[in-house]
Homo-oligomer: A and B are copies of this chain.
Amino acid sequence: MKQLQAHLEVHLAVSLLQARYAQAIDDDRLEEWPEFFTDDCLYVVTSHDNHVRGLQAGIVYCDSKGMLQDRVSGLREANIFESHRYRHIVSLPATVQAEGGVVKARTPFAVYRITRRKPSELFVTGSYEDEFVQGADGELRIARRVVVCDSSVFDTLLAIPL
């Protein structure tokens, strides 16, 4: 019973983090995006085909919070963020509380792209393959996020974070 209660709390914490992460991006509050990660995080965007073959390459590869912040700065300077927005629809996460305080979760998602004067359109589907740790403030942070996109066929510009 105590174990189930602990799982309820972990599941809630992961669900809330996923909801807030998606909304920060969809609201164009990109400067808050790196704050969801640990300092020495790994953030990779890759395709299903590459992921099952164990290829690390990926389409985006960042291995520190600093790299994520640089990415946001670059986006702001390039000014492309105004041309379109995203809408993340996040599916129910499957969470596992692993040993040593690491929480693992897999969370499927669909991302829609919104372009001015056009209806929303499906951009990409995939799955967040995550490892979370608890920060000093008690909040979960992303230590490792591999964004596995189902298709290899999508806009390789991929400016906005997924």
Question: Cβ of A11 < 8 Å from any Cβ of B?
Answer: yes
Selecting from A12-20, A34-42, A56-64, A75-83, the interface stretch reads A12-20
Chain A interface helix/strand/loop/mixed:
mixed
Question: Cβ of A71 < 8 Å from any Cβ of B?
Answer: no
State how many angstroms separate the Cβ of A153 from the closest Cβ of chain B.
5
Question: Cβ of A73 < 8 Å from any Cβ of B?
Answer: no
State how many angstroms separate the Cβ of A140 from the closest Cβ of chain B.
13
Number of copies: 3
Number of interface residues of A (CB under 8 A): 46
Q: Which of A69-101 contact B (CB under 8 A)?
A: 85, 87-95
Report A's interface with B, CB cutoff 8 A.
4, 7-9, 11-12, 15-16, 18-20, 22-23, 26, 48, 85, 87-95, 106, 108-110, 112, 114, 117-122, 124-127, 150-154
CB-defined A-B contacts under 8 Å, sample of 12: A4-B12, A16-B94, A22-B92, A26-B108, A87-B108, A89-B89, A89-B108, A110-B112, A117-B152, A118-B151, A120-B125, A120-B150
On whether the beta carbons of A18 and B119 are closer than 8 Å, the reply is no
